[in-house]
Amino acid sequence: MTDEAPGELEIRRFAAEDEQGVIDVILPIQREEFGIAITIDDQPDLHSIPAFYQSGIGDFWVATAGDRVVGTLGLKDIGGSQAAIRKMFVAPDFRGRSHGVAARLFESLLVHAERRKIAALFLGTTDKFLAAHRFYEKNGFAEITKDDLPAGFPVMSVDTKFYVRRLASAA
């Protein structure tokens, strides 16, 4: 930890120069914190964020503090005015209500979803991400079975819990 102020927290759309920062947030959390045997090569979407996420009704946001990426959130267009939330990660030293990183990333996603008339948000996660389960449930997501997912949902091999949030904006 340095004595320097981390800089003002900013939430913005992903830009190409953020790629390494995104990887530097996500990979250690997956591998070290949760013990998931995954590599960058197992996640080709992280090397093609604009093509994979920032197309159709999808997008990708980063939270930055100064020059450092401290949070990520992807939204993948899966057709039928539906989208999948992917890659929601917050660096350990920026977690919690006092920082508000997850809440601010999610608020950016909801503003985007309303503007794009998205009808439903789906996500998959692992049993290990207990804090994530609480966050999703607190933010209006309901647990569903894998069989309840739309056909276009990109199930990851590590996904064991699934959620949906229906949005009024599509009405």
* Residue written as token pair 């949030």: 165
Q: Which residues contact 71 (CB under 8 A, 6 or more apart)?
A: 11, 25, 62, 63, 89, 90, 91, 94, 101, 102, 105
For 133-137, 161-165, 166-170, which range has the lowest pLDDT when averaged over its residues? 166-170
Average pLDDT, the chain: 92
Q: What is the pLDDT of residue 168?
A: 75
Residue 3: what pLDDT?
Answer: 38
Q: Does residue 2 register a pLDDT over 70? A: no
Average pLDDT over residues 147-156: 94
What is the mean pLDDT of the segment spanning 153-157?
90
Of 50, 41, 38, nearest in space to 14 by CA = 50
Instruction: Return the pLDDT at 75.
Output: 98
Q: Whose structure tokens read 């020059």?
A: 67
pLDDT for 127:
87
Q: What is the pLDDT of residues 101-118, one digit of tens each?
A: 999 999 999 999 999 999
Residue 59 pLDDT exceeds 60:
yes
Task: For each of the domains in the chain, give its residue range(s) and CATH number, in order of start.
Answer: 9-170 (3.40.630.30)
The whole-number pLDDT of residue 4 equals: 41
Give the tokens for residue 33: 């914190």
